Amino acid sequence: MEQTWRWWGPNDLITLSDICQVGATGIVTSLHDIPTGTAWTKDAVTERKSIIETDKSLGLRWSVVESIQVHESIKLAEDGAKEFYETYRESLRNLGGAGIDTVCYNFMPVLDWARTQLRYPLPGGATALRFNAHEFAAFDVHMLARPGAAADYSRDVLDRAKHWFDAATEDTKRSLLATIMAGLPGAFDRYDIAGLRTMLARYAQVDHAKLRANLVRFLEEIIPTAEQAGVRMAIHPDDPPRPLLGLPRITSTADDIAFILDAVPSPSNGLTLCTGSLGARPANDLPAIAKRFADRIHFVHLRNVSTDPDGSFMEADHLGGGTDMVAVVQALLTEQQRRQKASDPHWRLPFRPDHGHEMLDDVGKATHPGYPAIGRMRGLAEIRGVMTALAHQHGFAL
């Protein structure tokens, strides 16, 4: 499997030289400076590719785009969506022309991933990302004051949410809002309470079925271009995999994934297997999902979470948490072996260690939440060890 690393671009504190040192060879990045809905030009794509690949001694290549953000007008199927389909298609053509053939994207409305703590303290001084159900409920019910929000939470969660809200200072409440808004990595929109209410109002008539239909429309619009450009689209699961703020989520279960892949049956319509996102829903069987959709997995995020009965969860060690990471990696290596025997040019699956604990010298550095160097390096090293052991045992190619 191709070992890759998410890089936030030339302003990232973690340099390309650093990435070379941790042993990754593929770069996962996006043109975050280009606003959502604006086409990525040939020059912009070529410039970023050149930055990554010019120094041949580093042995790096631009392996995966993560991501081209999908404009909210597309998710809403609004009248103005037509122009955004075209700019998305133009971006795909320019990426394909530059030899970049894998695009990770998501179809989560308004928010991408959601957490309530960006630096939850761990023993020894490290920190982790965490989602506390009662804090999110406090935001939803008391700060946002969304009509009907209380119906989405248990009595116990609501009681703890009220206690948290009553004890919270204004600074604490502002910090919670900022933390929830941090789930828009690389995006331009950052909402205050009023702005978030406005966005939610736009989705008032969009339920699960409608959002599904809007995703199918998006795929029908862009997959033919992706096929022509030699680009494989890989949808990222919802994080967390359940409705938030009254918004539907449609990539949360194996059945959701099957619907999406069957709706537009093309090799260019595929999956980003994220074990952390799907793992936050205890009913999801990640090894089974990896096996079921193996031939449509184009990109892999490997991380682990530990879950609580109330819906809270925390980023765990990569080989800890609730997901059997060894079984997942074995399923992926089995699929990779099948592709290699079939002479598939995409036989090597790109994966990256997703998220990581902030630890050691990274503590307090201004890295993107979940993306410190040392925590991810630890995760990559652990997964590399699993891969090597399985390859030795079963004769898999790495």
**Among all residues, which ones are annotated catalytic?**
236, 274, 301, 354-355, 371
| Nearest one of 58, 33, 59, 35 to 48, comparing CA atoms | 33
- Contact of 143 with 212, CB cutoff 8 Å: no
Sheet containing 117-121: order of strands: 117-121, 127-131, 313-315, 305-307
Query: Residue 172 is inside which H or E element, if any?
Result: helix 170-181
145 phi-psi bin (left φ>0, alpha ψ -120 to 50, beta other) = left
Alpha-carbon span 7 to 58, nearest angstrom:
14
Residue 247 phi, psi (nearest 5):
-90, 140
Instruction: DSSP letter for 40, please.
Output: P
CB count within 10 Å of CB 110 equals: 18
Alpha-carbon span 166 to 178, nearest angstrom:
19
Alpha-carbon span 392 to 398, nearest angstrom:
10
- Contact of 396 with 333, CB cutoff 8 Å: yes
Query: Residue 178 is inside which H or E element, if any?
Result: helix 170-181
- Contact of 239 with 277, CB cutoff 8 Å: yes
- Contact of 72 with 110, CB cutoff 8 Å: yes
Amino acid identity, position 285:
D
Amino acid identity, position 308:
D
Question: Which two three-digit tokens encode residue 92?
Answer: 């795909």
Helix (H, G, I), strand (E, B) or coil at 202: helix
Alpha-carbon span 37 to 33, nearest angstrom:
12
Query: Cα 86 vs. chain centroid, distance in angstroms?
Result: 24
- Provide, for the chain, the percentages of residues in helix, strand and coil under a 3-state DSSP scheme, each rounded to the nearest 5: 45, 15, 40
